[in-house]
Structure 1
Amino acid sequence: MRIFTLPVGLAVGLVSLPRAYAWGAAGHEIVATIAQIHLSKPVLSLVCDILHPSLNLATNPEDEAYPPCHLASIASWADKIRMRPEYRYTAPLHYVNAVDDAPPHACPFPGTHGWQGRPTGNILAAIGNVTHVLRDFVRGERGAGDAEEALKFLVHFMGDMHQPLHMSGREKGGNGVRVAWNGRVTNLHSVWDGLLIAQAVRLTPRNYTYPLPGSEGAFVEPHLRGAIYDPYIRRIMHEGLSVGGKFDPESDAWSDCPAPAAALESATDSLGAKGTVAYALSLLGLGDSARMEALLDLDFYGALGLTTRPGTENEWDDESVCPYAWARPIHDAELRPDSPCLPYDVVDFLDMTILDGEESAQKGEGAHAQGGRPRHPELLELDTPAYAGRLARGWVVERLLAMAGVRLAGVLTDIFADMAGDLQA
């Protein structure tokens, strides 16, 4: 049974894949593990019960080993099944492409011409849709089979959304940009899918090969499976998400969704000056409540000659799950305040030069063949201090993985906390 209603109108995964599978298997498993670490025992037990119905853990968690299951084991399921005939409809649900998207020179999201493809056939709509399915399950309106499938999709899609190239349509999300990595031919998308993570795993300090001590270890260690990326997760948790860590000041707000008034202001302001919805509304002299009603009126938008509601293109954002609001900064790349449209701020597709002017990262320099000469001098080498090194120094990839895990945990908690509490009572 399809859970998506589309209205009309490392050991595995540390290598790049031939198609656009965000983060590769390792990245998705890292996101899922970080999320699991942040779930309460009752919620995790209920989630495991949905994923593994035969375990019947939710009602008797005290009798079972903890954790009862690992979300990492299903994190890549949505990629594995996407080419099956019955699941081919899910292929476009792993990304979203804006029509006017042209980073690094322009970053509309989605821009005045909306999204490419079906407005409901993208990752933002998919995240909203599967959360609706899970909420219906909590209310008793959906069966366990639907909930299991929706949960597997949600774990995966939350990871997809935090891979910046899945938020951009230029050059097919970077798949069409041939680059070099350590002297080997690849593409920009593959660099972000797995090669950056593989390098980070390889360069994780050796002290993280040992379990974390004390209360932090008790919080983290039970959820690790002996995977090659476990030291990397320990580092993200200890240096990034712990009290006083790199992400401590901001991580509490990662799961927040903007209030309706703030979302309205962002939507209208994002379109600029005259000829926009904001300008049209100002001419009407509408108050805040009337402005909101107008923004939600499709006929009003049609009268303005627009096919979508800018800033609110998908109907899935609400007060607790807001994929559009979360995705927009990832696309606009508020990942480094001094550069727009990361990762396209580094590679200019017109002449393939480094935009920040670092001479050390010119074409072909970096990784060399055994003879000391570039293997592919015609390509831009990205395994350099100017590109990969700068991302590593800024903890850009680690922040995205941590953000995806924390938000996934927040969504699951919002959906299942009451039901899990009732089962424990």
Structure 2
Amino acid sequence: MRIASFAVAVTGLTALPGALAWGAAGHEIVATIAQVYLHPTVLPNICHILNFTDPNPNAPLCHLAPVSTWADRLRFRMRWSAALHYVGALDDYPGQRCEFPGERGWAGSKGGNVLGGIRNVTGLLERWGEGETGEEMASEALKFLVHFVGDMHMPLHLTGRDRGGNSDKVLWGGRQTNLHSLWDGLLIAKAVRTVPRNYSLPLPYPQIEGALRGTIYDSYIRRIFWEGLLNEWVDEKDGWLACPTPKEVQQPQGALQQLMSLVGMNSARDVAGETDDEFVCPYAWAQPIHKLNCEIVWPKELDEPPYTHMRIAEERERRSRLVDTHDPHSHSHDEGLTNSPDELLGAHLAGPQPKYVELDTPAYSGVITKKKVVEKLLAQGGIRLAGVLNYLFADEGMGIRQL
């Protein structure tokens, strides 16, 4: 499918306003880590596709990081691409129901999500290597690929609950934000501010230092390498590229799925077959990332009174405003409620106004920091992006360059 024809595939899908996975810093960190692990023959091909030129003959080769946010910067000009930044399952509602995707499958059109986007642009770049994709299309496909792989490693872009957490107001250091924004950038910002000073010094790895760009988060990247990729995760990072066989990733068949198979209808159990192969498998890679939404991302307080009442009342008011303005992207998440929105709204207005949940606490952000959850997601994104790019452009094929 051509990049320009993605619009056909995503017609009618619900956009996710304000959802920018990882923000600029997170996307650039993923891209920088990926660049470290590229085979030597890959970067010249990437620079050629991006039409990178520099009048300075001593300038280094191009960097992936600056193009990693291109898809977000132009998303309002390319509204057809909005749904390709995330994926939502109709049966999913962490932390009450963790389904990826469950019997009803994905929301929206087939292939019109971040998993399908990765599959699609990878195919375009494969055909560029065979001379079947033009330079302009290959350039856009490459920039989408760099961005979509980053998106996939932000857990809230793998669930449709509450617009990926955008509707869930929380506190961070006493200031109001939302759950999506917290994971989008605030956790990374705090981590960058608290990096020990010794990581401002160069590491004894020219390959790492050559990929850094003098940014404020260089020390944070060094920490991810030194504490994670070169130590704690050194024996598992190669496994992050593994793609299971189709039988290994198929979900168990229920009665409804068996019936659908008998009558020739697509079922949720075959979602891996739509996107995954032996070298590039976004669905398989995304499964454990999605589980984090139920295990650590969604605070249990968000599903307990009095916050539950307040959240539902605010969501009802938001939808009312969207309907009044005829916003085409308004949608509902009222399923599973035991009280009507009117009852909950009345209870909310009649009682004391509860405070939002504070998440800059040892019990929430402290656990995330201790387990290096964000750092590992950024590292996995970088490793997998490097693996896909090496598969596409290196003579050696799939894999990562060893330090």
Same fold flag (TM > 0.5): yes
CA distance in 2, matches of 1:173, 1:81: 20
1:363-397, Cα deviation, whole Å (9 max, x unpaired): xxxxxxxxxxxxx9611001111111110000000
1:135-165, Cα deviation, whole Å (9 max, x unpaired): 0000000111111110000000000000000
Structure 1, unpaired ranges of 5+: 10-16, 57-62, 281-299, 334-338, 354-375, 421-425
User: Alignment partner of 1:101: what SS?
Assistant: coil
Label 1:116 to 1:352 Cα distance change in 2 as closer, same or farther (>3 A).
farther
CA distance in 1, matches of 2:306, 2:194: 27
Following TM superposition, by how much is the alpha carbon of 1:117 offset from its aligned partner in structure 2, in angstroms? 1.1
The alignment's TM-score, normalised by the length of structure 2, stands at 0.80
Q: State whether residues 98 and 168 of structure 1, in contact with CA within 8 Å, keep that contact through their aligned partners in structure 2.
A: yes
CA distance in 2, matches of 1:78, 1:44: 20
- Residue of 382, 388, 400 corresponding to 2:365: 388
1:170 corresponds in structure 2 to 161
2:64 corresponds in structure 1 to 71
Q: State whether residues 67 and 223 of structure 1, in contact with CA within 8 Å, keep that contact through their aligned partners in structure 2.
A: no
User: Alignment partner of 1:172: what SS?
Assistant: helix
CA distance in 2, matches of 1:39, 1:391: 29
Label 1:231 to 1:387 Cα distance change in 2 as closer, same or farther (>3 A).
same
User: Alignment partner of 1:185: what SS?
Assistant: strand
2:339 corresponds in structure 1 to none
Following TM superposition, by how much is the alpha carbon of 1:309 offset from its aligned partner in structure 2, in angstroms? 4.1
Instruction: Quote the sequence identity (%).
Output: 50
1:344 corresponds in structure 2 to 298
Following TM superposition, by how much is the alpha carbon of 1:246 offset from its aligned partner in structure 2, in angstroms? 1.4
1:228-280, Cα deviation, whole Å (9 max, x unpaired): 000000000111111xx111121111011112xxx3243143x4x55543xx7
CA distance in 1, matches of 2:214, 2:194: 17
Following TM superposition, by how much is the alpha carbon of 1:97 offset from its aligned partner in structure 2, in angstroms? 0.4
Label 1:201 to 1:340 Cα distance change in 2 as closer, same or farther (>3 A).
same
Label 1:183 to 1:130 Cα distance change in 2 as closer, same or farther (>3 A).
same
Label 1:53 to 1:235 Cα distance change in 2 as closer, same or farther (>3 A).
closer
Give, as a single letter, the amino acid of the residue that structure 2 aligns with 1:320. Answer: F
Residue correspondence of structure 1 range 173-322 to structure 2 within 5 A: 173-212=164-203, 214=204, 216=205, 218-242=206-230, 245-259=231-245, 263-269=246-252, 271=253, 274-277=255-258, 301=261, 303=263, 307-312=266-271, 315-322=274-281
1:14 corresponds in structure 2 to none
Matched, 1:52 2:48: no
Give, as a single letter, the amino acid of the residue that structure 1 aligns with 2:269. Answer: P
Following TM superposition, by how much is the alpha carbon of 1:70 offset from its aligned partner in structure 2, in angstroms? 1.0
Residue correspondence of structure 1 range 23-172 to structure 2 within 5 A: 23-54=22-53, 65=58, 67-84=60-77, 87-172=78-163
CA distance in 2, matches of 1:122, 1:251: 26
CA distance in 2, matches of 1:65, 1:44: 16
User: Alignment partner of 2:232: what SS?
Assistant: coil
Following TM superposition, by how much is the alpha carbon of 1:67 offset from its aligned partner in structure 2, in angstroms? 3.9
User: Alignment partner of 2:240: what SS?
Assistant: coil
1:165-202, Cα deviation, whole Å (9 max, x unpaired): 00011111100100001111100000000000000000
CA distance in 1, matches of 2:263, 2:174: 54
CA distance in 2, matches of 1:378, 1:67: 51
Following TM superposition, by how much is the alpha carbon of 1:65 offset from its aligned partner in structure 2, in angstroms? 4.6
CA distance in 1, matches of 2:31, 2:277: 23
CA distance in 2, matches of 1:78, 1:349: 33
CA distance in 2, matches of 1:406, 1:309: 28
Following TM superposition, by how much is the alpha carbon of 1:43 offset from its aligned partner in structure 2, in angstroms? 0.6
Following TM superposition, by how much is the alpha carbon of 1:340 offset from its aligned partner in structure 2, in angstroms? 3.9
Label 1:102 to 1:352 Cα distance change in 2 as closer, same or farther (>3 A).
farther
How many residues are matched?
347
Following TM superposition, by how much is the alpha carbon of 1:204 offset from its aligned partner in structure 2, in angstroms? 0.6
Q: State whether residues 63 and 211 of structure 2, in contact with CA within 8 Å, keep that contact through their aligned partners in structure 1.
A: yes
The alignment's TM-score, normalised by the length of structure 1, stands at 0.76
1:331 corresponds in structure 2 to 290
- Residue of 374, 390, 394 corresponding to 1:397: 374
Give, as a single letter, the amino acid of the residue that structure 2 aligns with 1:221. Answer: E
Q: State whether residues 352 and 380 of structure 1, in contact with CA within 8 Å, keep that contact through their aligned partners in structure 2.
A: no
Q: State whether residues 130 and 153 of structure 1, in contact with CA within 8 Å, keep that contact through their aligned partners in structure 2.
A: yes
1:294 corresponds in structure 2 to none
1:416 corresponds in structure 2 to 393
Label 1:396 to 1:352 Cα distance change in 2 as closer, same or farther (>3 A).
farther
Of Structure 1 and Structure 2, which has the larger fraction of its residues in helix? Answer: 2
Q: State whether residues 114 and 313 of structure 1, in contact with CA within 8 Å, keep that contact through their aligned partners in structure 2.
A: no
1:388-413, Cα deviation, whole Å (9 max, x unpaired): 11100000000000000000000000
Label 1:183 to 1:71 Cα distance change in 2 as closer, same or farther (>3 A).
same
CA distance in 2, matches of 1:276, 1:310: 7
User: Alignment partner of 1:173: what SS?
Assistant: helix
CA distance in 2, matches of 1:18, 1:183: 24
Q: State whether residues 167 and 331 of structure 1, in contact with CA within 8 Å, keep that contact through their aligned partners in structure 2.
A: yes
Following TM superposition, by how much is the alpha carbon of 1:52 offset from its aligned partner in structure 2, in angstroms? 2.3
CA distance in 2, matches of 1:92, 1:35: 24
User: Alignment partner of 2:177: what SS?
Assistant: strand
1:54-97, Cα deviation, whole Å (9 max, x unpaired): 469xxxxxx9657401111111000000101xx11000100000
Q: State whether residues 36 and 70 of structure 1, in contact with CA within 8 Å, keep that contact through their aligned partners in structure 2.
A: yes
CA distance in 1, matches of 2:388, 2:189: 28
